[in-house]
């Protein structure tokens, strides 16, 4: 038999539920639950991103190992054919063009299904291969970024200067890639905003189709490692580490320093150095780190710092470090093929 509730009691009950919700007693989300929401990251592109796109597995594990654990790779695809276990969700559609994706309005549906906070985009290889003009590709980029911002006004976007391509069937592709990549920084400067920054990530420099791809287009293990190494500093700069680890042994001059091998491959490795202000009361305004590298190792690239020989000085924006706080810089280095995990020591001075 269906019971009936007196109207006055029903009114009282509804008021009680509203009161309880106001105090977090009736299913209102707690601050802890809200804080636990992971940052959602969409890898977006074509087969270089998704088929199988094993740079994603390397990048995922680099982030996890560095303490960036409160993240979620998202996408409507889930190809999992890489050696490393990782969050394989992605939006890397083999054979797709950026222009066709924009023209057919495919992205809004993917965004609605996955709700990303950050998009990591390596897109346009098939457009370049098809001899589509840079202006047309960049117009598609603009439309895609507009769709991202419509879905999330605070969307952070990382856009690659795409890796070189040199397939045997396309003699002009290498030059077309250069011409397209040269246009991307100015385009990004024109579309970036404070709320929704667009950051260019150089995936082209130092990438060799002869040694870093298996067919002149798609990255092999070496190429995957290089791509992950280039994405890492730009992406980690948008994240907050959960546990950045031990700052290392003290050095001289008010700072301590620690080295960590982020990724190692045959003939090279990526390193990360954490510089910590060892004072408990005073800030430092500049720092210098001197690296002692293994025999035969040579620095090839540094980010978040200025390199002279094997000495790295702070960049213009990260020299000031408050008491007890830390900053990081990263680098790529070559090494003899059979060297294994590098043994790097570092000393630090600050003023």
Give per-residue pLDDT as tens, 234-276: 998 898 765 333 333 333 347 888 888 888 888 888 888 888 8
Give φ, ψ of 292 to 5 degrees.
-105, 110
**pLDDT of amino acid 200:** 95
**pLDDT of amino acid 130:** 96
Beta pairing partners, 152: none
Which residues are CB-contacts of 268 (< 8 A; sequence separation ≥ 6)? 222, 225, 300, 332, 333, 334, 335
Q: Return the closest-CA partner of residue 125 out of 231, 53, 46, 42.
A: 46
> Which alpha helices (DSSP H) does 130-254 contain, by range?
134-151, 173-191, 209-212, 221-236
Query: Is the distance from CB of 47 to CB of 62 less than 8 angstroms?
Result: no
CA 94 to chain centre: 21
Helix (H) or strand (E) holding 19: helix 7-22
Distance of alpha carbon 234 from alpha carbon 158, whole angstroms: 8
Question: Residue 269 in 3-state DSSP?
Answer: strand
**pLDDT of amino acid 337:** 66
Number of helical (H) and strand (E) elements in the chain, helices listed first: 11, 14
Query: Is the distance from CB of 273 to CB of 283 less than 8 angstroms?
Result: no
Please, what is the Cα angle at 347 between 282 and 237, to 5 degrees? 70
Distance of alpha carbon 126 from alpha carbon 114, whole angstroms: 24
**pLDDT of amino acid 12:** 42
Give all strands (DSSP E) within the chain, no chain letters.
Answer: 39-45, 71-73, 91-92, 118-122, 156-161, 198-202, 255-265, 268-277, 287-292, 298-303, 305-308, 311-314, 326-334, 345-350
Structure letter (DSSP) for residue 163: P
Beta pairing partners, 259: 273
Residue 213 CB coordination number (10 Å): 21
Query: Is the distance from CB of 234 to CB of 118 less than 8 angstroms?
Result: no
**pLDDT of amino acid 340:** 65
Pairing of strands 268-277, 287-292: unpaired
Q: Return the closest-CA partner of residue 50 out of 114, 123, 1, 155.
A: 123
DSSP helix, strand, coil percent of the chain (3-state; round to 5): 30, 25, 40
Question: Residue 156 in 3-state DSSP?
Answer: strand
Instruction: Give, for all 351 residues of the chain, the pLDDT tens digit.
Output: 334 444 444 444 444 444 444 433 334 444 444 446 899 999 999 999 999 999 999 999 888 888 888 999 999 999 778 888 899 999 999 999 999 999 999 999 999 999 999 999 999 999 999 999 999 999 999 999 999 999 999 999 999 999 999 999 999 999 999 999 999 999 999 999 999 999 999 999 989 999 999 999 999 988 998 999 899 889 988 987 653 333 333 333 478 888 888 888 888 888 888 888 877 678 888 888 888 887 788 888 999 998 888 889 998 888 888 877 888 999 998 887 665 667 787 888 888
Pairing of strands 326-334, 268-277: antiparallel
């Amino acid at each position: 038999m269906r019971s009936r509730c007196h109207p006055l009691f029903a009114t009282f009950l509804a008021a009680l539920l509203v009161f309880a919700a106001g105090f977090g007693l009736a299913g209102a989300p707690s601050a802890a639950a809200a804080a636990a929401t992971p940052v959602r990251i969409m890898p977006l592109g074509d087969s270089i991103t998704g088929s199988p796109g094993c740079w994603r597995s390397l990048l995922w594990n680099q982030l996890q190992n560095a303490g960036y654990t409160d993240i979620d790779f998202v996408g409507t695809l889930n190809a999992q054919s890489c050696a490393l276990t990782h969050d394989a969700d992605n939006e890397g559609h083999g054979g797709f063009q950026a222009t066709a994706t924009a023209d057919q309005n495919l992205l809004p549906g993917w965004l609605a299904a996955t709700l990303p906070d950050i998009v990591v985009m390596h897109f346009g290889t098939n457009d370049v291969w098809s001899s589509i003009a840079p202006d047309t590709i960049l117009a598609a980029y603009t439309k895609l970024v507009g769709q991202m911002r419509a879905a999330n006004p605070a969307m952070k976007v990382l856009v690659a200067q795409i890796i070189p391509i040199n397939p045997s069937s396309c003699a002009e592709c290498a030059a077309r890639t250069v011409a397209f990549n040269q246009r991307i920084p100015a385009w990004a400067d024109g579309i970036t905003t404070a709320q929704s920054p667009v950051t260019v990530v150089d995936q082209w420099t130092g990438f060799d189709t002869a040694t870093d791809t298996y067919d002149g287009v798609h990255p092999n293990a070496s190429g995957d490692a290089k791509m992950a190494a280039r994405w890492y500093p730009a992406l980690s700069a948008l994240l907050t580490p959960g546990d950045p680890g031990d700052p290392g042994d003290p050095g001289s001059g008010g700072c301590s320093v620690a080295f960590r091998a982020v990724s190692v491959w045959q003939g090279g490795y990526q390193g990360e150095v954490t510089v910590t202000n060892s004072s408990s009361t005073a800030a430092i305004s500049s720092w210098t780190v001197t690296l002692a590298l293994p025999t035969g190792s040579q620095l090839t690239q540094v980010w978040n710092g200025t390199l002279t020989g094997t000495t790295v000085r702070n960049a213009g924006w990260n020299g000031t470090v408050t008491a007890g706080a830390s900053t990081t810089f990263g680098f790529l280095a070559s090494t003899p093929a059979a060297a294994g995990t590098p043994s790097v020591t570092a000393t630090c001075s600050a003023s």
